[in-house]
Amino acid sequence: MGLVDVKTFRNLEEDVISVNRCCACGACIAYCENQAFNVIEMENYIPKFKTDKSVENCKECGYCYYICPQTEPLLDQLKETHLVKDELGNIINAFAARTTNTKIKEVGQDGGIVSTLLTYLFDTNNIDAAIVSEYDDNFKPIPKIIYSKDDLVKSAGTRYSISSNILPLKDLTQIAEDIISQKKRIYDADQLRIAFIGTPCQCRAISKMKLLHIKPAHVISIVIGLFCFENFDYDKLMDTLRSKTQRNPSDIKKTNIKKNFFVTSKDDSVKEVNIKDLDDAVRNHCHECDDFVGRFSDLSIGASGAPTGYSMILTRTEKGRSLIDSLLATGYIERYIIPADQISEWQPKKINWLKKMTSLKVKK
């Protein structure tokens, strides 16, 4: 990265933020805080200089621009590193599975695979923490660091509006202190092992950071990508749902998309909303995204293409394949048994389906 090539946060404002292309992942802030530069912050899902003085204090290192998932630099190297040759990325194996954990089945969505993965990683002491997304009292997604499998219940289910999942990494020292206070065997932040779960754009940012070997991505031990067709602006989504269902955000128990948008209230009543009614609530950055399955991850998980009650799992790296194999071998999850007459065509059909979904996302 020569001096001529360096672009600063000012460029990020011009090229991404001011034109509404920011996906609010929080990568730029997490990096800046970990270098103790402390010049930018997130306000209403928008990165900005903290103060007028911050403009002068910016080190103009350029890393915030390079790690942004919405900028072009590093993408070619990223594709090469992750063996990405087409729209689905590198796939070692593709199959459907579901959890065997009764409690996760009760609170989870589809196959409950992500919660089960994290349960296994905590059970086997392979991670110290995980970054997940929870809902607040108004059904607004918020990023959260959890330190045990007991905290997983609140993070179960699918999020349809943005959660800035990289943002919590800005407080890496505090995370380490929290874990050390629990008398776990770490002595400083650099020893942390954190599982990251995020949307394709968030995984792309983490992978860019890893490519450059910069903090705080060095503590991410496994990257789990979630299938994502589009994400909604929280306020616009809730305004539409309130209008269409006569339900306040605080009354919502869960939401899911099966062709249309379904809202389950806390009294277990279900309302259906035409998905086209939500078009105006789609975040602008989603309109140019070409990644449905999370190409830049160790493994990808989603409901699309899976039988009812199961999730599709795409293993992408040896780390991801080994982890899934361990879950299968120890009985944490169980594979979908393909009917005998469909065995030869099942996987190719699913791969084609995911390619079709990616194509639809690009067109949309």
How much of the chain is in helix, strand and coil states, percent to nearest 5? Answer: 45, 20, 35
CA distance 71 to 64: 10
CATH of region 234-281: 3.10.450
Domain ranges of the chain: 3-75, 85-231+283-363, 234-281
Backbone angles phi, psi at 195, to 5 degrees: -85, 135
Question: What pLDDT, in 10s, does the model give residues 27-51?
Answer: 999 999 999 888 999 999 999 999 8
pLDDT at residue number 4: 53
Question: What pLDDT, in 10s, does the model give residues 162-189?
Answer: 899 999 999 988 888 888 887 677 777 8
Q: Which of 103, 138, 146 is nearest to 121 (CA)?
A: 146
The residue to which tokens 């389906």 are assigned:
353
Backbone angles phi, psi at 67, to 5 degrees: -90, -10
pLDDT at residue number 124: 96
Q: Is domain 3-75 in CATH 3.40.50.300, yes or no?
A: no
In the beta sheet, which residues pair with residue 99? Answer: 333
pLDDT at residue number 257: 82
- Residue 258 neighbours by CB distance under 10 Å: 10
- Residue 191 neighbours by CB distance under 10 Å: 14
Instruction: Tally the residues of the chain.
Output: 364
Most confident among 9-23, 101-115, 139-153, 259-273 (mean pLDDT): 9-23
CA angle 77, 78, 84 (to 5 degrees): 110
Question: What pLDDT, in 10s, does the model give residues 210-239?
Answer: 999 999 999 999 999 999 998 999 999 999
State the alpha helices, DSSP H only, in the chain.
9-12, 27-34, 52-57, 63-67, 75-81, 102-107, 113-123, 172-181, 200-212, 234-245, 318-329, 343-363
- Left if phi > 0, otherwise alpha if psi is -120 to 50, otherwise beta: which for 89? left
pLDDT at residue number 155: 72
0.75 surpassed by pTM: yes
The residue to which tokens 């008398």 are assigned:
183
Is residue 176 classed as helix, strand or coil in its secondary structure? Answer: helix
Beta strands 46-49 and 40-43: pairing type? antiparallel
Residues 82-99: what's their mean pLDDT?
96
The residue to which tokens 């790690």 are assigned:
67
Q: How many helices (H) and strands (E) does the chain have?
A: 12, 13
pLDDT band at 157 (very low <50, low <70, confident <90, very high): low
Backbone angles phi, psi at 183, to 5 degrees: 60, 35
Asked whether the predicted pLDDT for residue 2 surpasses 60, the reply is no
The H-or-E segment that residue 270 falls in is strand 270-273
Asked whether the predicted pLDDT for residue 209 surpasses 90, the reply is yes
pLDDT at residue number 3: 44
Which are the contacts of 218, defined by CB distance < 8 A and separation ≥ 6? 190, 210
69 alpha-carbon distance from chain centroid: 12
